[in-house]
Amino acid sequence: MSNDNTKVENQELISNYSMLPLSIFDWIESNQNQIIVVCDERGKIIFVSSSVEKLLEYNTKDVLGKYWYQFLTREEKCYISANYEGIENREQAFIISLYHENGGKVITECSLCKFVEDQKIYYVSLLNDITEQKEAEKLLIRSEKMSIAGQLAAGVAHEIRNPLTSIKGFLQLLQAGINRNEEYYKIMIEEIEKMEKITSELLFISKPLTDLKRPESLQEMVNDTVNLLQTQAKLKNIQIVVEQPIVESIYCDKSQIKQVFLNIVKNAIEAMEEPGKITISVQNTNDYVNIHISDEGPGIPEEILHKLGEPFFTTKQNGTGLGIMISKNIMEDHHGSLEIYKNKEKGSTFKLSFPKELKKISNDVP
């Protein structure tokens, strides 16, 4: 069939559809699971589908004439301003939270595209409600957190037993009348403080998930991760090396990002079958803070790199594949990314990228 005949048929179809009662189109629009939003060049909303009334409970009249950022959190308003207002004529997708009429938040997957008509610029967004999906992911994250806490318990017990043995020995010496009280007291206090730190970190892992993002010290989170996994690494003659200095802070939820660090470093320890080292380093670019975690294991074959992060796909005999998937989801929620590379010589590198813009915005925007 020729192109001309196809065009004629399409025009006939459009003509026929245009004769349908408006109530049919109204029903389709109000019952779809997407919100369609059109903004002008300044960001003012000039069209919104009536499905906004079902999904967000706003009256369309109350939405029209307002600006898109009035319905977003401060963090996400600034992120979109920094990354998407200058988009080209191609679709881009990202996750954003919108304010519901009742004051709550609805998590949506947003597809955004820029159009130019008659020298005027328009932005069209399709918004899908994925709140239930994200809630399910949070349950998975919680489950994985508890799994990690259980797996670390054996190492923590070993780490606590050593200080207890030392304290018991010093108490026996003091009981025997050896007069070196001050020296022994100092050592015992140091051992007790070590146990306190280890147990506090284990309790921190098992706490319920939060959603509190603020600037956090990267050095502190890395140190906490190393302290928890040091025993497990030593049992396999693996050294965890942290390249200094680390002076950066990142805008994040501390409990979630520490879980990402724990997932990746723990995976690296388990992947290494021979003694070696795991290196944690930080790299600064104009736009991102990048954390590199490199191991000296067998490496991940390039043909399956793209599958990592899929649920239940794993290279470990007793793994579930959820750790990397959950880590990727957490990074996406922080507007960051997780990339995995095979090293040239041996092992793999996990690259975590956090946008600097969010850190700047958290301090600058009222």
Q: How confident is the model at residue 311 (pLDDT cuts 50, 70, 90)?
A: very low
Q: Looking at mean pLDDT, say which of 31-35, 81-85, 244-248 comes out highest.
A: 244-248
Domain boundaries, the chain: 32-129, 134-364
pLDDT of amino acid 240: 94
Distance CA 263, CA 327 (A): 7
110, 127 contact by CB (below 8 A): yes
Least confident of 16-30, 82-96, 346-360: 16-30
Q: Which residues pair with 279 in a beta bridge?
A: 241, 294
Distance CA 355, CA 366 (A): 19
pLDDT tens by residue, 245-275: 888 899 888 888 988 898 889 888 988 888 9
Q: What angle do CA 46, 52, 57 make, to 5 degrees?
A: 125
Q: How confident is the model at residue 282 (pLDDT cuts 50, 70, 90)?
A: very high
pLDDT tens by residue, 152-194: 665 566 667 767 777 787 787 777 777 777 777 877 887 787 6
Q: Provide DSSP, 136-203.
A: HHHHHHHHHHHHHHHHHHHHHHHHHHHHHHHHHHHHHHHHTT-S-HHHHHHHHHHHHHHHHHHHHHHH
Distance CA 325, CA 306 (A): 12
Q: How confident is the model at residue 235 (pLDDT cuts 50, 70, 90)?
A: confident
What's the pTM? 0.51
| pLDDT value at 14 more than 50 | no
Going through the chain in order, the beta strands assigned E by DSSP cover 34-40, 45-48, 92-99, 105-117, 120-129, 213-217, 238-242, 249-253, 276-284, 288-294, 337-342, 348-355
Q: CATH homologous superfamily for 134-364?
A: Histidine kinase-like ATPase, C-terminal domain (3.30.565.10)
Quickly tell me which residue has 């037993």 as its tokens.
Answer: 161
pLDDT of amino acid 363: 47
109, 95 contact by CB (below 8 A): yes
Q: Specify the CATH class of 32-129 in words.
A: alpha beta
Q: Which residues pair with 10 in a beta bridge?
A: none
Which strand ranges, in their side-by-side order, compose the sheet holding 337-342? 238-242, 276-284, 288-294, 348-355, 337-342
What percentage of the chain exceeds 90 in pLDDT?
Answer: 11
- Three-state DSSP class for 111? strand
pLDDT of amino acid 85: 56
